[in-house]
Amino acid sequence: MLAACGVVLALTGMADLAVDLILWTVPVIGVLVIFSLRNKHLFRRPDGSEVCRFEAANILTAMRIFLVPPVLVLLNHGYTMHGAVLWLTAELTDVADGFVARRFRQETDFGLMLDPVGDIMATISVFTWLFISGRVPSWLFALLVARYVQFFAGLAILSLTGRLPKLHATVVGKTAGVVQGAIIMFLLLRVALGESPRLSSYDNILFPVLGAAFLAVIVSQTAIGLRAVRNHDAS
């Protein structure tokens, strides 16, 4: 499919876009394929039973990761509306993969690990583009970075000390995801449709709300980490 898109773009006079699309997307696909092949033990149910194939839920999660490079390529080439639509598609897979996993009992350790990676890649990539292009303030971008630095640092510390809890979605995390998804989509559409003073006036509301959502996640992650340490030390 990627090769077909590249050929079509090249034939329609957009060779630069086609080259960037392939150069940025193929390595991401390759890394995920290699990771999947080297970690087949992660393809198992919560009860320990093994899964012998890449199921629909994991395919949807992988799609979210594969769509990140094309979104950024489109945004960097000035196709903001196309990038926004593709980013919305990636966000919808976040809803779809969880539903499919629960509905058809396709939960796996691989999916539990890959799902937050896909969320983080989709969010941080587009948010970085918005920050670099001057659409979001530095303090808000710093909060987002702090949120993810805390997440990965906390995972590393808890894992190295044998205190890593079982990862699962939280109400705070899901709420923050909905808020940040809606606001990022609004910002992308605003760029695509043309900046206007009327739309920019909403920043005084949207940015504090998004900042509060990031802070809530940081507090929630801190509480989860402390609880994991206490539970481990008490056992």
pLDDT, tens only, 81-116 = 999 999 999 999 988 998 898 888 888 888 888 888
Structural domains in the chain, CATH included, are: 57-234 (1.20.120.1760)
Amino acid at 211: G
Other CB atoms within 10 A of residue 115 CB: 21
Q: How many CB atoms lie within 10 A of CB 61?
A: 29
Residue 129's DSSP bridge partners are none
230 pLDDT tier (thresholds 50, 70, 90): confident
Q: Is 106 helix (H, G, I), strand (E, B) or coil?
A: coil
Determine the Cα–Cα distance for residues 217 and 50; give it in Å rounded to an integer. Answer: 33
pLDDT at 32: 92
pTM: predicted TM-score of the whole model, two decimal places: 0.89
Beta carbons of 107 and 46 less than 8 angstroms apart: yes
Decide which of 4 and 215 is more confident. Answer: 215
Residue 9 has pLDDT above 70, yes or no: no
C-alpha distances in Å from residue 150, one per residue of 36, 109, 118, 214, 226: 26, 22, 17, 12, 13
* Integer CA distances (angstroms), 72 to 18, 25, 104, 114, 144, in order: 13, 10, 32, 20, 18
* Neighbouring-strand partners of residue 50: 44
Mean pLDDT, the chain, rounded, equals: 88
Per-residue pLDDT reduced to its tens digit, 137-164: 999 999 999 999 999 999 888 888 888 7
Helix 56-76 with 15-38: angle, nearest 10 deg = 150
| Digit-coded pLDDT (tens) for 198-212 | 777 888 999 999 999
- Which of 21-35, 46-60, 158-172, 186-200 reaches the highest mean pLDDT? 21-35
Percentage above 70 pLDDT, the chain: 94
